[in-house]
């Protein structure tokens, strides 16, 4: 390995990608640490799959760079892909195969495939070995895709929208347990999702993407610690949302407003007082509120 263990497992630097008029990735710089769970959050079309395709070397960096395990995935695909268990967004499993054939076929590509573990997962997922892929439900298809991504115990488990097609119980009881187990074994999970509460439950580190850009990245603990929801009261209602340094979003009307803010609370408090307001309640902001505030702030800067 030409990368030390402390180096990020995935590193993108200034990565941009244009499809026609569409800037799908705009200067994305991310470091994904080893042995942890990294959640990539963003709405449909934010650029998550495009980023994942660069990690897999399916797309070549137009500008900027991508390193995975210290390698360029386009020029060194074997060094990279042999260590990644990948679940694609569309699953794309061969529809004509039976489940047992899919397992035998996939096993042939991976020397480290663990047949006993594959069988254990097949049982746990309730997949009939004789069932044809094309006859599986969406959820069963997702489980089959997850099984073949997991059964060779890859160093990196890369899941693109793994929840899609899974019912909430399976998400919580199976998917989230698997993700945690992989990380507890010292391996790395990188998954994308538009479900913020899911990412909040399972990720150690996150990146929020909006319109091709990373609008926030860090450990979940730091992000939650540094963002607050304040309820503001104004004796004389302001005509519009007053600008307050450190406030990412301010919604409301009349005397009551809700602010999502970032950084030093005392600085925000002083700013609130300067515009004639008073903080009457405060709490930790949810990831959802943080995302909406960050994405809104980014959209406003672009207008």
Positions in the binding site for ligand ATP (CB under 6 A): 19, 22, 24, 42, 44-50, 89, 161
CB of 183: closest distance to ligand ATP in angstroms?
23
Would you say 74 or 131 has its CB closer to ligand ATP? 74
Would you say 155 or 213 has its CB closer to ligand ATP? 213
Would you say 45 or 296 has its CB closer to ligand ATP? 45
Would you say 200 or 213 has its CB closer to ligand ATP? 213
CB of 132: closest distance to ligand ATP in angstroms?
27
CB of 24: closest distance to ligand ATP in angstroms?
3
Would you say 50 or 262 has its CB closer to ligand ATP? 50
CB of 287: closest distance to ligand ATP in angstroms?
17
CB of 252: closest distance to ligand ATP in angstroms?
30
DSSP calls for the chain: --S-TTS-SEEEEEEEEEETTEEEEEEEEEEE-TTSEEEEEE-TTSSHHHHHHHHTTSS--SEEEEEETTB-TTT-HHHHHTTEEEE-TT----TTSBHHHHHHHHHTT-TT--HHHHHHHHHHTT--TT-BGGGS-HHHHHHHHHHHHHTT--SEEEEESTTTT--HHHIIIIIHHHHHHHHHTT-EEEEEES-HHHHHHH-SEEEEEETTEEEEEEEHHHHHHHEEEEEEEESS--SSPPP-TTEEEEEEETTEEEEEEES-HHHHHHHHHHTTEEEEEEEEPPHHHHHHHHHHHHHHHH-
């Amino acid at each position: 390995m030409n990368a030390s263990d402390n180096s990020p497992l995935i590193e993108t630097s200034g990565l941009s990608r244009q499809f026609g008029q569409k800037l799908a990735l705009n200067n994305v710089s991310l470091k994904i640490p080893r042995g942890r769970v990294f959640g990539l959050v963003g709405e449909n079309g934010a650029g998550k799959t495009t980023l994942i395709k660069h990690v897999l070397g399916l797309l070549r960096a137009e500008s900027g760079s991508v390193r995975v395990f210290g390698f360029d995935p386009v020029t060194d695909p074997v060094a990279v892909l042999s260590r990644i268990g990948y679940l694609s967004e569309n699953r794309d499993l061969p529809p004509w195969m039976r489940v047992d054939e899919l397992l035998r076929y996939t096993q042939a590509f991976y020397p480290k495939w663990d047949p006993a573990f594959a069988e254990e997962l097949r049982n746990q997922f309730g997949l009939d070995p004789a069932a044809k892929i094309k006859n599986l439900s969406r959820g069963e298809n997702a489980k089959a895709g997850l099984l073949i991504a997991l059964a060779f115990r890859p160093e990196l488990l890369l899941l693109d929208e793994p929840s899609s097609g899974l019912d909430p119980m399976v998400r919580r009881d199976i998917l989230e347990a698997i993700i945690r187990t992989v990380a507890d074994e010292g391996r790395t999970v990188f998954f994308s999702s538009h479900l913020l509460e899911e990412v909040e439950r399972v990720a150690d580190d996150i990146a929020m993407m909006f319109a091709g850009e990373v609008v926030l990245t860090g450990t979940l603990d730091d992000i939650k610690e540094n963002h607050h929801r304040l309820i503001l009261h104004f004796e004389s209602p302001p005509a519009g949302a007053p600008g307050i340094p450190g406030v990412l979003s301010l919604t409301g009307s009349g005397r009551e407003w809700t602010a999502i803010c970032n950084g030093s609370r005392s600085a925000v408090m002083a700013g609130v007082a300067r515009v004639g307001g008073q903080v009457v309640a405060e709490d930790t902001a949810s990831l959802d509120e943080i995302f909406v505030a960050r994405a809104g702030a980014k959209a406003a800067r672009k207008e």
